[in-house]
A and B are shown apart, each in its own frame.
Chain A
Amino acid sequence: MAGNLSILVNRGLPAGIGAVAALVAITLAPQPCRADPKPGGTITMAQAANINTLDPHFSGSGQTRNIATHIYEGLMALDENANAITDLAEGFSYAPDGLSVTFRLRHGVRFHNGTEMQAVDVAASLERYKRLSPNKALLQPMLSVDVTDPYTVVLRLSRRAPTLVDEMASPATLLGIMPAADGGAAGGRNSNIGTGPFRLAAWVADSHATLERFADYNPNPAYPKRDGYGGRKTAYFDRVIIRVVPEAGSRVAGLETGEYQIVEEIPAAVAASLAGNKAVRIYDMMPWWMIVAWLNNSAPPTDNVEVRQAIQAAINQKEVMEFATQDFYRLNYSFQYPTSKWYPGPESQPLYNQNNPAKARALLGKAGQPAPKVTLLASADFDVCTNAGIVVAEQLKAAGFVVEMRTVDHPTYTATGLKPEGWNIAICGNGIEPFLGAYAYNRLMAGRPNRMQNYSPELDAAWAQILNSDAFEQRKAGWVRLESILHDQAMVVKLGDAGIKQAAVAKVAGFVPFRSPRLWDVWFE
């Protein structure tokens, strides 16, 4: 009973922050032979974090994504391996000069209000995204959208943007296609009508969203089956209810009583205690996100590269990750997952997991700062970040640093970390960036000010290579160069990859964990 009681009081990661890799090593219990999928039924999923808005253009949060990916579809989507594939677009082509992209649209795709999705809707959606999305920089090269016929749009670009179409597939701030009537809607005030396999039936923020199977959904005929966020999608459930259940103990209790059939995230310790429960299946999502110590490259003493290298040398990543993740982690020096096509290789990096306080002290001596005072910021909203911060602080103290640790809620963490002063080390996780590959890091690691509060012409040159090259090999070479700059100058310290545990009742079939839960092509046995 003690073990079970711990389920109720154990607090886990608030879901929705982190991020999964597409290329996850998913550990599943052996699956029994299954009958053909059966339509019908209502499935309820419990997620930890509140839903701010269902407007996909207007939010970069994981909670919005969890629901929006069921309601909306974009011209492009990411497949199971995080490669861009066509979704509402039938195809696309760049002009020879690279200054326009033409999208040909699928025919017969219907919105949830019954009207057919056409080029005017695409144009209005793109323009709305460019007007109000926090990720509007994505469409910054877009000068205009021309509707050349009901099923063709041409994006006129101010400059070559060879990665634009790939980036449009990102679900981070989903470029979902809405009816043209929503084009003028303010953020969060759209009609929540999309073309996805489920339509929104009801939504109470902070409580739940109810989705219903969209009877007129037109699956993408170009693919044989579900593929990432795209492919041929089939909705089997009549209704999907996504309920906000902040308390981890309540989520687990609801799973055990059968009130919830899927739980987006449960604490690792609880998952172990559920291992013997045959009515429940645990899904290991490794990696889900990566834990990172951002260093402030402009505020003293971490403006000094030797002080930053001393931090890099002092950290014992194995110890940090063991403690922070309840032993559910993987050491990885890179800002890409090993299964990603962007992973630089080889598998080790001499500047990672050094655990060398003597070297750190020597570097501090060289910098003329034997006991520098640093402010370490950790997000209190995520236990992993707080715990990682605690261990890093102790390791730095052992190397001679004077550490002031500040544990703050996530908005405070984010707001403070974006300022050039008031912090030296900021620890939390990044999920969507490694899931997407290289491009999404651009928002964090390029220009001035970037997340490291520095301006590096070398970094920007690497970014130019990544974003302006036509061939993937050239882009990847740019990324490899970029990572080596980050490590050599200790601009940011990677701590490790972390996973999360998801759970579902045993009768749920077809569920495969992904960056956010997909409840299409899932059914009850």
Chain B
Amino acid sequence: MLRFILRRLLGSIPVLLLVSLIAFLIMRQVPGDAAVAMAGPSASAADIDAMRVTLGLDHPWPQQLLGWYWRLLHGDLGDSLTLGQSVWQAVVERAPTTLSLALLGLLLTLVLGLLLGVAAAWRQNSWVDAVAMVTAMLGVSLPNFWVGLMLIYVFAVMLGWLPSGGYTPLTEDPADWLLHLILPATSLAIMQIGLLARMTRSSMLEVLRQDFIRTARAKGLGEGEVIGVHALKNALIPIVTLIGIIFSLMLAGAVVIETVYSLPGVGRMVVSAIQRRDLPVVQGALVLIGMIFVLMNLLVDLLYAMIDPRVRLQ
């Protein structure tokens, strides 16, 4: 297994380098650079040229790219052109926010998505199924920024139960951390709950028609054991795949949610880095986000083997 993990990790290096190269080339095609963004909205050409020299953007782009790769080989993601700190430091400062948001969102998705999906399959074509699927469909259909704004209006402005935005680190005040994340995580999870519920329902329905389920019931096992132990476990393979995808989608969706709720996360940092044309931050953050995706996929593959002993990692 160790060899499998190592091979997968090594295999991801060219992918990550390619991701950063594509990011670099795309950003090169976009007009404007960090000097334009930093010099201010009313800057003259001379102001911007001066800023370009200060930031080292007057060097030829192949030199900039090679320099970036050279530093990367030494474990250095470079320095932000605008934040006054290294890219690594910038990401490390913001990663806890994004990871908190994504993990809490994932937790909500798993609990509610699985419950809805299992209930809908268990009582197929009943009102339970109808309610679960309509709820899931609504979740899939509603844009998360709109859901976010509505949740703010109801729970922050009208009811005053929860804060409308901002973030408190877990280490500072765990209760306040949770309070600040409930609405963002819910906004982020709603769409994914719908996705997971629909997938769970369809996977469960397939399993529930299998002979071994009929056998289990014939043996007199309780419905809870049949559904919870025998059916759900066998329906998990496609669900686990989807959970991996959902986590990736949550990292992507965090960009919007972090903006709506003013959370200082990696997603918002990348968006503002794009707006500021802060290329090192965009490249560095994409490499790190890419690594998370790679690790997530690896984790999913490892989970396959745990769930289904017939799967062998090679």
Interface on A for B, CB 8 Å cutoff?
4-5, 8-9, 17, 46, 50, 52-55, 58-62, 132-137, 172-173, 187-189, 204-208, 243-247, 249-250, 253-254, 256-257, 259, 408-412, 414-416, 418, 428-433, 440, 443-444, 447, 449-451
Contact = CB atoms under 8 A, between A and B. Distances in A.
Contacts of A259: 163-166
B50 A134 contact: yes
Given A134-B51, A207-B264, A247-B259, A411 B275 contact: yes
B268 A428 contact: no
A415 B31 contact: yes
A253 B157 contact: yes
Max chain A C-beta neighbours (<10 A), residue from B35, B45, B47: B45
A224 B33 CA distance: 45
A151 B100 CA distance: 52
B11 interface: no
A8 B149 contact: yes
Given A60-B42, A254-B165, A245 B50 contact: no
A129 to B, nearest CB: 11
A412 B31 contact: yes
A255 B163 CA distance: 11
Nearest to A52: B82
A280 B272 CA distance: 30
A333 B43 CA distance: 23
B106 interface: no
Contacts of B32: 409, 411-412, 414-416
Contact of A257 (B42, B90, B156, B277): B156
Q: Closest 8 CB pairs between A and B?
A: A60-B40, A207-B264, A411-B32, A188-B84, A415-B32, A443-B44, A134-B39, A253-B164
Given A46-B262, A52-B83, A134-B47, 18 more contacts: A17-B41, A50-B276, A60-B38, A60-B43, A60-B47, A133-B50, A134-B48, A135-B47, A206-B269, A207-B264, A243-B166, A243-B262, A250-B164, A253-B152, A414-B43, A415-B36, A416-B32, A443-B43
Contacts of A59: 38-40
A245 B153 CA distance: 16
9 contacts: A134-B43, A188-B84, A250-B262, A257-B157, A257-B160, A414-B36, A415-B36, A418-B48, A443-B47
Interface string B136-175: 0000000000100110110011001001111100000000
Contact of B164 (A61, A134, A254, A449): A254
A328 to B, nearest CB: 20
Given A52-B276, A440-B42, A187 B55 contact: yes
A8 B152 contact: yes
B218 interface: no
Interface of B: 30-33, 35-48, 50-51, 54-55, 82-85, 90, 93-94, 146, 149-150, 152-153, 156-157, 160, 163-167, 259-262, 264, 268-269, 272, 275-277
A59 B37 CA distance: 9
A259 B152 CA distance: 13
Contacts of B93: 204
Contacts of A450: 44
Contacts of B48: 134, 414, 418
B149 A411 contact: no
A234 to B, nearest CB: 28
Contacts of A433: 42
A131 B95 CA distance: 35
Contacts of B82: 52-53, 188, 205
A406 to B, nearest CB: 11
Contacts of A204: 93-94, 264
A53 B38 contact: yes
A460 to B, nearest CB: 14
A28 to B, nearest CB: 25
Contacts of A253: 152-153, 156-157, 164-165
B262 A246 contact: yes
B264 to A, nearest CB: 3
B153 A247 contact: no
Contacts of B165: 245, 250, 253-254, 259
A204 B265 CA distance: 10
Contacts of A244: 262
Contacts of A134: 35, 38-40, 43, 47-48, 50-51, 54
A145 to B, nearest CB: 20
A58 B277 CA distance: 16
B38 A249 contact: no
Contact of B54 (A9, A132, A243): A132
Given A8-B153, A414-B36, A53 B262 contact: no
Contacts of B262: 46, 207, 243-247, 250
B40 A61 contact: yes
Contact of A412 (B30, B54, B157): B30
B152 to A, nearest CB: 5
Given A253-B152, A414-B36, A444 B260 contact: no
B38 A52 contact: yes
A245 B160 CA distance: 19
Contacts of A173: 40
A61 B41 contact: yes
Contacts of B156: 253, 257
A136 B39 contact: no
Contact of A55 (B84, B164, B276): B84
Contact of B44 (A206, A207, A428, A451): A451
A257 B166 CA distance: 13
Contacts of A444: 42, 44
A412 B46 CA distance: 17
A132 B84 CA distance: 14
A172 B40 contact: yes
Nearest to A443: B44
Contact of B83 (A53, A135, A409): A53
A432 B42 contact: yes
B272 to A, nearest CB: 5
A66 B155 CA distance: 31
A97 to B, nearest CB: 28
Contact of B38 (A46, A54, A58, A136): A58
Nearest to A189: B84
A244 B268 CA distance: 11
B146 to A, nearest CB: 8
Instruction: Give the residue among B39, B42, B94 with the most A Cβ atoms within 10 A.
Output: B42
Contact of A414 (B41, B85, B149, B275): B41
B37 A52 contact: yes
